[in-house]
Structure 1
Amino acid sequence: MNNQVKLIIYTEELLNIGHTTSIESEVESGNCVVFQDNGETGYFYAIDIINEEIIVLDALHIYNVKDVINTSDDCLVKILWTEDKTKAILSINNYYHALLDFKNKKGYSRTGFPEASKVWKSQTNRQLTDALLDELFFLV
């Protein structure tokens, strides 16, 4: 029996790394994520909006622009959600860079940085690996 978790693309946009960009994705459950490139770094955020105030639940470092080899090419950014709308994945050029898990209040990125936020503070290991992705999404 196959218990593979289905991922659904909710947002898909082109990005030029190093140019100020904000890409938001919100699902029907109210969970919301934002990918931002401020010209120096790229971050993936879990956010909540209460009375029009944006609250950052967690933040994950994706890249430093100065460390990216080719910033002149457009990149394809996708934000995918699980069918139950509790987990969001950031994909850049079809490579998974980060995962935000609203149900378990955990965030993972390839850099594993920074430490968990005060809101999602129970987590120690934030390193996103292919093995972790397989464990979470491709259970057989």
Structure 2
Amino acid sequence: MKVRDVMSERPEYLEQEATIREAAERMRDADRGFTPIAHNEKIVGIVTDRDIAVRAVAEGKSLDEQVKNIASGKVLYCYEDDAITDVLQSMQDQRVQRFVVLNNDTNKDFVGVVSLGDIAAHCQSGDLSQRVVNASRLYH
């Protein structure tokens, strides 16, 4: 199975000048715990619900501050043709629950996001299910 078979295609992203409040509203409306952050249509960061809680609310930042000030600048990604088993291993190694998905290593266009939940929803083999369980243990 490939990433393109399970990923969420081209979810909305926010420009880095958007506010923290807009990021929180976008996550609420999309029922997701993160949103990609872009500059000139290139993904330059990720903001998660945890980033909002820890880097904004807990530090007393204004929700009208730009989201780029709390976003994680390190964008972890995979390619849509990558094998799910390889991506699961990378998620486990990096201790993350999701990757940005790019089309290929030449253009590197943003085409989607893949999460542990996306993969779990498509598990058909016991081995793959066990890999999802192993990767998710890092968060509980």
User: Same fold per TM (> 0.5)?
Assistant: no
Question: Between Structure 1 and Structure 2, which shows a larger proportion of strand residues?
Answer: 1
**Structure possessing the higher radius of gyration over alpha carbons:** 2
TM-score with structure 1 setting the length: 0.30
TM-score with structure 2 setting the length: 0.30
Q: Which has the higher contact order (CA 8 A, sep 6+)?
A: 2
